[in-house]
């Protein structure tokens, strides 16, 4: 069936993470071939002519951007909660982050009053699995979750680096998130900032959060080249250490065949060599 945009209730759009690159590809495909796959809706309870969107938010956004007046939809003959669970099971093979799973679980808990046991049963998971994902949503500040939804911040990056920070200090977590977004940090850069913050003193942490660009700049600088004389000394020392180790092994093998004076002399020479008394 064909639906107009004013007929669509998009209350579940916040459960999905935006992917700008995927959205651009979808936009190009719709412009070229039109809508090939209908969105999924269920009837809105007590609102004749209104439909809750279960799946297809990216298609809706792209079609609106293209100036299309209507969207092709298919209606599932079931309730809202059942439709959400069925949609998730059909998308189970797709890559879904723990944070997205937590969003859905939190909504099911709050909107439909499902307890942990019921959620675990419906998602075919353990109660512990449900609890951990709900904790993610409760722990991570809402502003950061919104950055993830809008595609400004990667979900994996937020879970790996920002969640541990939130457990320690929420304010630092929010400032670090702002730095990730402002400087468009990739996973490596975000990991460097987080590791420096985690291992730093209070003063170092404050410096990193105040001037993250300065820290990232120092990480990009190549290490200073060593002078030729220093490199030669290092090579000579490596050779000397190798020779001493070899001599030590051979001395241990030869000691049983030596007389007492010979053993004493050889051991004294080895000790002088190890101590750096080369002329002894």
Q: Is 165 in contact with 176 (CB distance < 8 Å)? A: yes
Angle at 15 between CA 14 and CA 20, to 5 degrees: 75
For 177, the enclosing helix (H) or strand (E) is: helix 170-182
Q: Partners of 40 in the beta sheet?
A: 55, 74
pLDDT band of 225, cuts 50, 70, 90: low
Question: Among 3, 106, 8, which Cα is nearest to 52's?
Answer: 8
Mean pLDDT of the chain: 87
Instruction: Determine the Cα–Cα distance for residues 44 and 53; give it in Å rounded to an integer.
Output: 9
Neighbours of 86 (CB within 10 A): 15
Most confident of 36-45, 221-230, 242-251, 265-274: 36-45
Percent of the chain with pLDDT over 70: 94
- Torsions phi, psi of 9, nearest 5? -100, 115
Nearest to 177 by CA among 152, 202, 198: 152
pLDDT in tens, 231-275: 788 887 878 787 878 888 888 888 888 888 888 888 888 777 776
User: Residue 262: CB partners within 8 Å, gap ≥ 6?
Assistant: none
Q: What is the pLDDT of residue 42?
A: 95
Average pLDDT estimate for 20-27: 86
CA distance 162 to 177: 7
The Cα–Cα gap between 71 and 157 comes to: 34
Say yes or no to pLDDT of 170 above 80.
Answer: yes
Q: Is 70 left (phi over 0), alpha (psi -120 to 50) or beta?
A: beta
Among 132, 154, 134, CA closest to 144: 154
- pLDDT for position 95: 67
Question: Of 49, 54, 43, 108, which is closest to residue 77 (Cα–Cα)?
Answer: 43
Q: Residue 136 above 80 pLDDT?
A: yes
pLDDT of residue 223: 57
Better pLDDT: 76 or 96: 76
Rounded alpha-carbon distances, angstroms, from residue 34 to 29, 72, 232: 7, 10, 68
E runs forming strands in the chain: 2-4, 8-9, 39-43, 51-55, 70-75
In this structure, of 69-83, 179-193, 242-256, the range with the lowest mean pLDDT score is 242-256
- Cα-trace Rg, the chain: 32
Alpha-carbon gap, residue 162 to 198, rounded angstroms: 11
The arithmetic mean of pLDDT across residues 54-72, rounded, is: 92
- Give me the residues paired with residue 71 across strands: 3
């Amino acid at each position: 069936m064909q639906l107009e945009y004013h007929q669509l209730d998009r209350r579940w759009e916040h459960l999905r993470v935006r992917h700008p690159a995927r959205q651009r590809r979808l936009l190009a495909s719709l412009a070229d071939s039109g809508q090939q796959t209908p969105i999924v809706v269920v009837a809105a309870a007590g609102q004749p002519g209104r439909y809750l969107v279960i799946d297809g938010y990216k298609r809706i956004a792209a079609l609106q951007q293209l100036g299309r007046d209507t969207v092709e939809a298919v209606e599932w003959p079931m309730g809202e909660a059942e439709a959400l669970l069925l949609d998730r099971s059909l998308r189970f093979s797709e890559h879904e982050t723990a944070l997205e799973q937590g969003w859905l679980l939190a909504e099911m808990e709050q909107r439909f009053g499902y307890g942990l046991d019921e959620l675990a049963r419906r998602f075919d998971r353990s109660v512990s699995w449900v609890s951990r994902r709900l904790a993610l949503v409760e722990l991570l500040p809402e502003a950061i979750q919104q950055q993830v939804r809008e595609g400004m911040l990667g979900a994996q990056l937020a879970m790996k680096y920002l969640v541990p920070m939130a457990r320690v200090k929420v304010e630092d977590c929010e400032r670090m998130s702002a730095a990730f977004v402002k400087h468009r940090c990739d996973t490596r850069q975000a990991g460097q900032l987080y590791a420096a913050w985690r291992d730093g003193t209070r003063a170092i942490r404050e410096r990193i959060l105040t001037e993250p660009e300065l820290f990232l700049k120092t990480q990009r600088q190549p290490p200073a080249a060593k002078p030729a004389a220093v490199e030669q000394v290092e090579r000579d020392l490596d050779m000397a250490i190798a020779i001493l180790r070899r001599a030590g092994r051979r001395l241990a093998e030869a000691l049983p065949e030596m007389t007492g004076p010979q053993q004493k002399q050889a051991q004294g020479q080895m000790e002088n060599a190890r101590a750096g008394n080369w002329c002894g």
